[in-house]
Structure 1
């Protein structure tokens, strides 16, 4: 049995359609950029579509016209609630009661009964697991943890994750909790997973200029699948580490000639 999977990450829609433009332009973008390249049975989007969940939803709905299933894991940008000089003036802040998890719950709620669009998230009814035609998929953001003093100084005072992910916790504690929850989820996964999908890479990519910053990876003790799709660090990759194939196909930059990439799972 085979499963052909198209995959992409880090679309960052504002590079193509500004927040002031009609949401209907997203459907045209998908038609122009994706529909003519479809090779897979399903599409995997490994996070960072947009900060606005209405735009996220429109992109996923548009993609689902061309695939049997669309599988999405949240990126860090899906957690963002915009602030201006640390003053919560954006209507989104009030809508989600100044808490990014309420935004995550809302996105999960939109698709909870949708059979074509699957949000893989440990906080929703999937618990981050989904079976498609006997293939077991697992997915989560897989939040990082700043390790070195330099990384902490980068993350806590000025990085967008600290500024735009809102919580009742301190900047340090909220990132730590996100990380702890992700690691707990991962450590409790079964060992028969056919594909893992995360936004954050599960390894330190030394070939990437960001690879030395622990805000761009989350190392795990063992890879629980032989194939892993990720995003976040904006670097195309297709490598083998410890018998696991790790692939990434970021979009999000209008200077790039975007191509859908495809991999095949077999049983």
Structure 2
């Protein structure tokens, strides 16, 4: 048996008020994460899964992952859409107006955290084996296809303002990795975008939002899946012999009251 703890959509910079003193801000961010872990009452800290959207800044992501790095045997992370965001002129200048450069920096940060594994399509098609289970992950960016979906992305989604390059390029990277993983014996797959329709999707079937909130695939590569991107629900979906878990912390105003959840797999 393997204990997997999981959460997604932390959005830490919405929860912890900015402080001009970076050291004081770091203390607050790491205390917030430690408090979240403590109130979740996790008995066996084996694998921790974070299914994307940690924050808008890599230095905050680093502080968050430093805590999980110490608390869990292994922490597995994928990039969420907000982890691609370049929300300021300074960020755009730093990353040469490329969200992919921000992802590259995240990979470099994680190299210094011995118990953290970062899955990203730009780094190829690797899988990670731990305690007889094979894990893999990638963002699985949605692809707006219809005119209505493209209009929703351009006019409604902040992604169109803060993520450089088109969703087509990110989706292409992700699907290439996903198709390769079909050849491997993956036990657990982690994505940010869901691979299945969720309850919240059903509320918006005719507004074009599916093209920004669902990644369409023709088959599942793993029997157990973890995803993020939807905030309104903390659910398990069972679809054609596969399980899909999501557990959003979300934004403070949503009042979800989430804690880190845990599931035991054989």
Equivalent position to 1:32, from 12, 17, 35:
35
Could you tell me how far apart the structure 1 residues matched to 2:95 and 2:189 are?
A: 29
CA apart distance, 1:32: 1.2
Aligned equivalent of 1:214: 211
- Indicate yes or no: 2:86 matched with 1:74: no
**Aligned-pair CA distance for 1:260:** 1.6
State the partner residue of 1:260: 260
1:195 maps onto 2:197 in alignment? no
Superposition pairs for residues 1-267 of structure 1, below 5 Å? Answer: 2-20=1-19, 22-36=25-39, 37-39=41-43, 40-83=45-88, 90-124=89-123, 127-167=125-165, 174-189=166-181, 190-208=183-201, 209-210=203-204, 213-234=210-231, 235-254=233-252, 255-266=255-266
When the two structures are aligned, how many residues end up with a matched partner?
Answer: 252
Task: Identify, as 1 or 2, the structure richer in helix.
Answer: 2
CA distance in 1, matches of 2:52, 2:171: 16
CA distance in 2, matches of 1:42, 1:252: 21
CA contact (8 A) 1:227 1:244 kept: yes
| SS of structure 1 residue aligned to 2:71 | coil
* Rounded Cα–Cα distance in structure 1 between residues aligned with 2:56 and 2:204: 22
In structure 2, distance between residues paired with 1:95 and 1:128: 28
Secondary structure at the residue paired with 2:70? coil
Q: Provide the TM-score with structure 1 as the length reference.
A: 0.88
Please, what TM-score do these two structures have when normalized by structure 2?
0.89
- Whole-Å Cα distance in 2 between the matches of residues 27 and 176 of structure 1? 35
Deviation of 1:20 (Å): 3.6
Hey, what's the Cα distance between the residues in 2 that align with 1:201 and 1:19?
Answer: 30
Structure 2 CA distance, aligned partners of 1:115 and 1:149? 45
What are the Cα deviations for residues 209-256 of structure 1, in whole angstroms up to 9, with x where unaligned?
A: 356622101121111111100000112210210100111000023323
Unaligned runs of 5+ in 1: 84-89, 168-173
Q: What residue ranges of structure 2 are gaps of 5+ in the alignment?
A: none
User: Partners in 2 of 1:227 and 1:210 — Cα distance?
Assistant: 26
Deviation of 1:66 after TM superposition, in Å, equals: 1.4
Alpha-carbon separation, structure 2, partners of 1:132 and 1:239: 24
* Contact 1:194–1:265 (8 Å) recurs in 2: no
Conservation of the 8 A alpha-carbon contact between 1:122 and 1:128: no
Q: Is the 8 A contact 2:142 2:211 kept in 1?
A: yes
Measure the CA separation in 1 of the matches of 2:104 and 2:154: 24
Question: Residue 207 of structure 1: CA displacement?
Answer: 4.7
CA contact (8 A) 2:247 2:258 kept: no
CA contact (8 A) 1:128 1:140 kept: no
